[in-house]
């Protein structure tokens, strides 16, 4: 799939470790976009006009620098915009500088969230009301101060601020991925549970698996 006429706004880094930072040159970036064009975009529904996101590493720390299996392992979070809507893709990739190629990691393999999948989840949520039940306490430290994690960019209001101040909710970032947690302990910071979207998605995957 061609990247011609597609706005490319993925940011790379910043990386703290020099071995990760030194790889992030033009060749590295071109190889990443090529991976998206060949391995990700064919599975999307829309005619993509813009790609946003970031590439970083969960292994950007000294203790991982000498481990060959994760030394050049990166993580990406990307969104693909079209006139029909926004689709997402994310996951871990290993970079091979000798061939300027990317290979999916076996730990957190790449995933996509297509417009078709979103429509299915939305329909199921509306019909079944997949609303996570607030837990009474943290399963790790048993503290009762548990906040619901709110994803996206919410419109600020007095009601939202009151919920934040009370500790009933906390902000979780711009996007919620399939594995994003729903709850956070305000004492030990443990995070757990599935979002309503993830609960509905698991139900869809279970149903489709039974039909095969």
Structural domain harbouring 172? 121-211
Inter-residue contact 86 to 79 (CB < 8 Å): yes
Do 147 and 198 share a domain, yes or no?
yes
Do 22 and 88 share a domain, yes or no?
yes
Q: Which of 60, 93, 113 is the last residue of a domain?
A: 113
Do 109 and 134 share a domain, yes or no?
no
Query: Of 122, 115, 139, 91, whose CA–CA distance to 196 is shortest?
Result: 122
Do 11 and 107 share a domain, yes or no?
yes
Do 95 and 147 share a domain, yes or no?
no
Do 16 and 97 share a domain, yes or no?
yes
pLDDT tens track for 49-80: 999 999 999 999 999 999 999 999 999 999 99
pLDDT tens track for 139-184: 999 999 999 998 876 777 888 889 889 999 998 876 777 778 889 9
Percent of the chain as helix, strand, coil, to the nearest 5: 30, 25, 45
Rounded distance between C-alpha atoms, residue 17 and residue 21, angstroms = 6
Query: How many CB atoms are located within 10 Å of the residue 90 CB?
Result: 20
Rounded distance between C-alpha atoms, residue 19 and residue 9, angstroms = 23
């Amino acid at each position: 799939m061609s990247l011609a006429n597609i706005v490319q706004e993925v940011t790379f880094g910043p990386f703290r470790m020099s071995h990760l930072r030194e790889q992030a040159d033009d060749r590295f970036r071109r190889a990443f976009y090529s991976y998206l064009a060949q391995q990700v975009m064919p599975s999307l529904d829309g005619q993509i006009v813009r790609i946003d996101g970031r590439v970083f590493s969960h292994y950007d720390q000294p203790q991982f620098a000498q481990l060959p299996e994760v030394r050049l392992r990166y993580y990406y979070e990307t969104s693909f915009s079209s006139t029909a809507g926004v689709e997402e893709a994310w996951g871990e990739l290993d970079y091979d500088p000798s061939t300027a190629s990317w290979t999916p990691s076996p730990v957190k393999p790449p995933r996509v969230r297509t417009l078709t999948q979103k429509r299915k989840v939305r329909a199921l949520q509306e019909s079944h009301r997949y609303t996570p039940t607030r837990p009474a306490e943290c399963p790790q430290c048993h503290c009762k101060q548990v906040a619901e994690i709110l994803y996206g960019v919410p419109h600020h209001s007095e009601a939202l601020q009151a919920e934040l101040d009370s500790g009933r909710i906390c902000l979780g970032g711009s996007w919620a991925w399939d594995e994003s947690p729903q709850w956070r302990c305000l004492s030990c910071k443990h995070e757990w549970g599935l979002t309503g979207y993830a609960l509905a998605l698991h139900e869809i995957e279970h149903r489709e698996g039974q039909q095969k």
